[in-house]
Amino acid sequence: MKPLEGVRILDLSRVLACPFATMLLAEMGAEVIKVEQPGAGDETRSFEPFFDFGVSGYYLACNRAKRSITVDMRKEGGRQVIRDLAARADVLVENFPTGALKRRGLDYASLKSVNPRLVYLSCTGFGQTGPYAKRKGYDTVFQAMGGLMGLTGERGGGPVKPGLPVADLTSGLWVAIGLLAALRGRDATGQGAHVDFSMLDGQVALLTIAAARLFALGEVPPRLGTEHPGRVPTASFRCRDGRFLHITASDQHWAPLCNALDLRDLLADPALATNAGRLAQRDRVMAAMTAAMEAMTRAEAVTALDAVDVPNGPVLALDEVVADPHVQARGCIAMVPHGEATHPALRLPFRFDGFDDPVPAPAPVLGADTDGVLTELGYDTARIAALREESAI
């Protein structure tokens, strides 16, 4: 048994943040019914890259383990299908623009009347309230407005976005957390809830230690590349062979680090024994570290630092990550069937003792489950045919 078995989720979302969230919950056992537009489906079905069997890798990465039905919510027949599904669901997730589903009679207030236990989550860029509520946005907009981009980049350089759509992916994690919390509350009270999640709010909530520096000292942390604003030495260094090694050292690692890299002058200076002292002389410490690392290959540096338990890690390219022996040993990647083909996919990072572990399951073919889901709702073949004639499914 998986931990979320018995939870039914009606997923009206598309693209990345919420589909990622519902996939996480699906692979932990929830039944997720993904509602897609007839004929086209989730926009990501057309996004590159494509596997050689013709399916979008983008779509497969965020929609495994779901059932797909096609419903046109612009038609009354389609809207009634959604009402009937919501009446039997534990959770509804949507990421339509603010107010769009209210105009169709599918907002929380409308569906609460058919299912008082429904947990209904609305994910929008800026939330249901506030001066930006009607604005549109994408991942990089929220990175920019939420402070992440302003904190990221090399010294003296301009803002840089991370290599992943961090605002989308972390929003997916926030959505999953919010849904699980609301379900726990529903189980305690018997009443559902509306969860208003803003992607901008999600990015602001991640500022944590950067915001703490502002609140405590009135300072905006500068862009420092891979360096840490409050800990020295922490950074990625180029080695003699051109490869990079990232090192994170605290006070207890300082002497072993200096011994491993033969930094005797730094070790002999009592002013550098504490992080506060090293922060005050950041440039001196980093210059000495840079010179020492440039004289060693990455393998030599890893061997020397591992021998004295100084935290370090090679900066790996993506293909090196998936081939890493520890990643392989932990089973982070699995082969997943899709029709007659198979494709690699990333596993969820949970291993349960007492429940079945999440294992990637196939993503659905567009609309493959429409008739089955409607039959489970009690629709007969004539009613299903009438909906199809109306182009509502």
User: pLDDT tens per residue, the chain (393 residues)?
Assistant: 999 999 999 999 999 999 999 999 999 999 999 999 999 999 999 999 999 999 999 999 999 999 999 999 999 999 999 999 999 999 999 999 999 999 999 999 999 999 999 999 999 999 999 999 999 999 999 999 999 999 999 999 999 999 999 999 999 999 999 999 999 999 999 999 999 999 999 999 999 999 999 999 999 999 999 999 999 999 999 999 999 999 999 999 999 999 999 999 999 999 999 999 999 999 999 999 999 999 999 999 999 999 999 999 999 999 999 999 999 999 999 999 999 999 999 999 999 999 999 989 999 999 999 999 999 999 999 999 999 999 999
C-beta neighbour count of 114 within 10 angstroms: 12
Query: In Å, what is the CA distance from 374 to each residue of 7, 69, 108?
Result: 18, 9, 22
Q: What is the DSSP string of 63-86?
A: -TT-EEEE--TTSHHHHHHHHHHH
Q: Return the pLDDT at 287.
A: 97
Query: In Å, what is the CA distance from 216 to each residue of 1, 145, 159, 212, 213?
Result: 47, 22, 24, 6, 5
Find out whether 123 and 199 touch, Cβ atoms under 8 Å: yes
Residue type, 82: I
Query: In Å, what is the CA distance from 164 to each residue of 7, 16, 20, 203, 390?
Result: 30, 12, 14, 14, 41
Give the pTM: 0.94
Q: Return the pLDDT at 75.
A: 96
Q: Is 196 one of the annotated active-site residues of the chain?
A: no
Helices 251-261, 282-294: inter-axial angle, 10-degree rounding: 40
Give the CA angle between residues 167, 52, 349 to the nearest 5°.
40
CA 312 to chain centre: 25
> How far apart, in whole angstroms, are the C-alpha atoms of residue 293 and residue 120?
53
Q: Return the pLDDT at 161.
A: 95
Active site residue: 11, 90, 107, 168, which one? 168
> How far apart, in whole angstroms, are the C-alpha atoms of residue 117 and residue 176?
18
Residue type, 173: L
H or E segment at 346?
A: strand 341-346
Find out whether 234 and 310 touch, Cβ atoms under 8 Å: no
Query: In Å, what is the CA distance from 153 to each residue of 157, 163, 222, 224?
Result: 6, 12, 9, 6
Residues ≥6 apart with Cβ < 8 Å to 330 = none
Residue type, 343: H
Residue owning tokens 């919501």: 86
Find out whether 128 and 201 touch, Cβ atoms under 8 Å: no
> How far apart, in whole angstroms, are the C-alpha atoms of residue 218 and residue 220?
7
Give the CA angle between residues 21, 60, 385 to the nearest 5°.
90
Tokens of 104: 């169709």
